[in-house]
Amino acid sequence: MTNMAILLSGRGSNMLALAQRCAQGDLEAKICFVASDKKDAYGIMMAKSLGLKTLLLPYEEGKEQAEKVLDEKLQSDSVDWIVLAGFMRMLSPTFVGKYEKRIVNIHPSLLPSFPGTQAIKDAFEYGVKVTGVTVHLVDEKMDHGPILSQREVRICDEDTLESLEEKIHAIEHDLYWQTLKNLFAGRFKMKGRRMTIEGPY
Ligand code: GAR
């Protein structure tokens, strides 16, 4: 069984989707705890109501202290993977270096297009015809690192920002657990810059 910790800052729909897949046995992993930089994050309330352990990261005491608290908890719970699900903070290069290739992120665009905190809006306002979702390993840059999976979403003339958000989130909730399942099973291999997957996807 793989041990994971989920980090979030907001409403936690990706955390919920992953928790449901774990509960159904589709994703053979244990959520050791759900951590947030925001004490009033809706995702933290939801995690509590699911009976998951939660952790508040004390960013008001500085990034170093917040990451120290996180690091201690990761070690005491023997966490294998750190899963970012709408965590709107940059982890320090020191932290990322310590957990190299053990941090994974989901982002609501086809990276490297539209990194940042409002990717769906940015893509919609730019007027692109195709956007999507990316799951990637985390390096020290924002929304950057080896890409594990991507799925495209077409933007139709009838779409509004709200309808696009809905489409993107539906894809996220499907793509994240499937990608994590392959990742936890050790099926991704690095070939040059490209992460390839062994066997049927
Ligand atoms: C998701 O769309 C996720 O891809 C995005 O935050 C949202 C969190 O939603 N992450 C980023 O933008 C990372 N740069 P959720 O709290 O409902 O899971």
Distance from the CA of 189 to the center of ligand 1, in angstroms? 26
3-state secondary structure of 137: strand
- Quote the pLDDT of residue 198: 81
- CA gap 149, 178 in Å, rounded: 9
144 in active site? no
Banded model confidence at residue 200, pLDDT cuts 50, 70, 90? low
Position 84 pLDDT exceeds 90:
yes
pLDDT tens per residue across span 125-157: 999 999 999 999 999 999 999 999 999 999 999
Which of 107, 136, 169, 173 is labelled catalytic? 107
Beta carbons within 8 Å of 15's beta carbon, 6+ residues apart: 6, 8, 34, 43, 46, 47, 85, 86
Look up tokens 């003339």; give the residue.
157
Category of 149 on φ-ψ map: left (φ > 0), alpha (ψ -120 to 50) or beta: beta
- Quote the pLDDT of residue 192: 87
pLDDT tens per residue across span 163-183: 999 999 999 999 999 999 999
Residue 145 CB less than 6 A away from ligand 1? no
- Quote the pLDDT of residue 49: 98
